[in-house]
Each structure stands twice: as structure tokens, then as C-alpha cells.
Amino acid sequence: MTTQVRTEPITVNLGPQHPSTHGVFRMRVTFDGEEIIDVEPIFGYLHRGSEKLAEERTYVQVVTLTDRMDYVGSMLNNQAYMLAVEKLGNVEPAPRGVWLRMIASELQRIASHLVAVGFLIQDLGAWGTPLIYTMREREKILDLFEMLCGARITNSYLRPGGVFMDAPAEFWPAMNAVLDELPPRIDDLDDLLTDNDIIFSRTKGVSVLTPEQMLDASITGPMLRAAGVDWDLRHRDPYDYYDQVTFERPLHTAGDNFARYWVRVQEMRESIKIIRQCEKLIEPGPVRPEHDDVPWLLRPPIGDAYAAIEHSKGELGFYLVSDGSISPYRCHVRAPSLINLTLLREMLVGELLADMFVSFGSVDINMGEVDR
């Protein structure tokens, strides 16, 4: 005989200072027993006004602000911003600079996915170990960035039309060593997690999102590809030289937490392939246009431009308006983290308390980018 326990809805406030919220994020969650019946996400605690600050800085100075938006994907942010500036100012980029920034941004994509996977597993309750495995690999990529541009997180490596300085001679062997080491480590990750029964039972079929739901909410990136929608800007609308490299787009059809995790792991392998191809195609030459063509105090003609890239989290776009002066009149960022969060309620309602942070982590958000 089953006994009916009468439960009452209870509202719990989570965050903003909560270790599982990947930053300062607050959720007002209503539970009925262990089941979530309502979620109200509240954000804005990390708002630093980057878009406004950009309005009083020169086009090159703004690159330091983009570093700090999504701080686990700085190179990708730099790239999106530079594409917008180049479009706005009709800058012809230097080929070697473009190849270098493609290499840098693919490395960054691997690093960013490693963080996403590591923290997702941490949210599952595997405290420490898998996270440290992924952090160890990420550390090597950050070392490469230090070689390239002197900083690990706040890179500021890109400049309008290319990069600020060519890669040093010691970079290429170091990068090859890292790329050789990575595939076995990703296989390890597969052994450790992808085939793991505990992970299976915890993530399969949890927080399923349908392609229609996601398309309606403009969700992009690995989240969308995990539901089988083949949408990758590198392939659909190639920027830089992505039309000259070949890569596959891993797709999963489930649209659940496991699919989102799986797509990220596979994308790391594709990024390695892209870097290998870039390395073959790169040719010696200048890494940025002459100063006479692209001065430091760039004054783009009056107009506006929008450029978007496939960030590790989704479509990252910069919309710049120029009034002909040395700083943008308006700078708007289409932040994938923010837009991917909009389906949080649909993801969480009906799920259990223990899966809440797993689903939240599988979105792979970065509060620095959500609030800007």
C-alpha cells in the first residue's frame, strides 16, 4: 500500500553567491517535494557596463573590455569584435594574422569546452577529480597563450586586421606537443565519463529541449547541435578562412544533458583537426596591416556593422555603430550565454532538485558574458 504524503510548495532562494551557479546568478525556485515547479532566474549582479564603457574608448582599447566578457573564451571574443571592426572600417586583414587568430580561437574553443565539461561533471557531484583532469589540459593551452601574447586569460591578442605580433619560434613545437597530447586525453575523458553508467543514468533524458523550442528562443551553439540542428556559423556563414578548412559538425539528436556534454567533447576533436590544417596553410608574411592603412586611432566611416562568430557557447555577435569618431557610438553584444539561458524555466520545471545544477551547467554559461 502506498501512502500519500501531502506536500506544500516551498520557495527557495539560491545565490547570488552560490558555488554552483558559475558566477553570481540568482534563482528563485519553487519546489514541491523534490520536484521543481517554478524557476525565476534573476541576473545582473555582475553588470559592469562594458557596452557603455566601450563608447568612450578607442576601437583598439575596447579589445581589453571584450576579454573580460566571457573570460574563459577571451580569444573568441577578441575575434568577434575584430571582425565587426574590420567590417565597419573596411579593413583588409593580413592573411597570416587571420590564420594566427583562427589557431588561437580554436585553441580557446578547446579550453572553453574543457571548462564546460569539467564543471558539468563537478555539478553532477564528482567533486574534484574530473574537473582537475580537464583543468590540467586547459592549463597547457593557457601556457601556449602566454607564449603567444603574454597573458593567460585577458589576452588582448588581436588587433584590427590581424594580431599584434607574430607567434614566437618556440610556439609551434610547443603547440604541436600539446596537440599530440590532447587526443589521448580526450579519449581518457571518454573512458572516464562518456561510457560511465553513473553519468548515463544521471544525464540521459533529463531537461530535454526540442529543436522547435530552441529555434523559437534563438538558442545557438552546442545546445542546438545537441538536438540535431546542423547550425554552425563556421560552416553556414564562414568568416575568416573557415571556408578553406574542412571539419565535421558533431550532432546528437537527444537534446538532453548528455547530448550537450557529448557534442562538446566531440567538438574538441574537430578543433584539433582545424588547427592542424591551419598550421599547414599558414604562410610567412605580415601579421597586421601597415600602420598607414590601419592607424591606431581608427576612424571608421559613418555606418554600422554586425559580425558574428561561432563562439564555444553559441553565436557571439558584435554590433557597432560609428559616427566617424575614434570611438564607437554604440556597441552592442549578442551574448550567447544570456540568450541560451532564456529556456531555463522550460529546462528545469518538472525535473528534480538534484538535476537542477546539472541542467544549468549543461547550458555552459558564463556570468561575465550574461551581465557584461
Residue 46 in grid coordinates: 555582475
Per CB under 8 A, the list member of 164, 228, 235, 353 interacting with another protein is: 164
Rounded to a whole number of angstroms, the distance between the first and last alpha carbons of the chain is 54
* Dist. CA 359–CA 355, nearest whole Å: 6
Per CB under 8 A, the list member of 147, 215, 217, 353 interacting with another protein is: 147
Question: CB-wise, 37 or 147, nearer to another protein?
Answer: 147
Span interacting with another protein, options 175-183, 189-197, 204-212, 260-268, rule CB under 8 A: 189-197
Please tell me the count of residues contacting another protein according to CB under 8 A. Answer: 33
- Site for another protein, residues 289 to 318, rule: CB under 8 A: 296
Neighbours of 55 (CB within 10 A): 14
Per CB under 8 A, the list member of 24, 114, 116, 149 interacting with another protein is: 149
Rg of the chain over Cα atoms, rounded to whole angstroms, equals 21
CB of 317 to another protein, least distance (A): 22
Neighbours of 112 (CB within 10 A): 27
Three-class SS of residue 186?
helix
Span interacting with another protein, options 40-48, 146-154, 238-246, 348-356, rule CB under 8 A: 146-154
- Site for another protein, residues 26 to 85, rule: CB under 8 A: 57, 60-61, 64-65
Span interacting with another protein, options 22-30, 107-115, 149-157, 260-268, rule CB under 8 A: 149-157
CB of 80 to another protein, least distance (A): 18
* Dist. CA 174–CA 28, nearest whole Å: 47
* Dist. CA 130–CA 198, nearest whole Å: 14
Contact flags string 121-140 toward another protein, x per CB under 8 A: --------x---x--x--x-
Question: CB-wise, 79 or 277, nearer to another protein?
Answer: 79
User: Tell me, what DSSP letter sits at residue 191?
Assistant: I
* Dist. CA 99–CA 107, nearest whole Å: 12
* Dist. CA 197–CA 25, nearest whole Å: 31
Three-class SS of residue 234?
helix
Neighbours of 190 (CB within 10 A): 15
Per CB under 8 A, the list member of 12, 177, 198, 281 interacting with another protein is: 198
Binding site for another protein (CB under 8 A): 57, 60-61, 64-65, 129, 133, 136, 139, 143, 146-151, 154, 156, 164-166, 168-169, 188, 191-193, 195-198, 200, 296
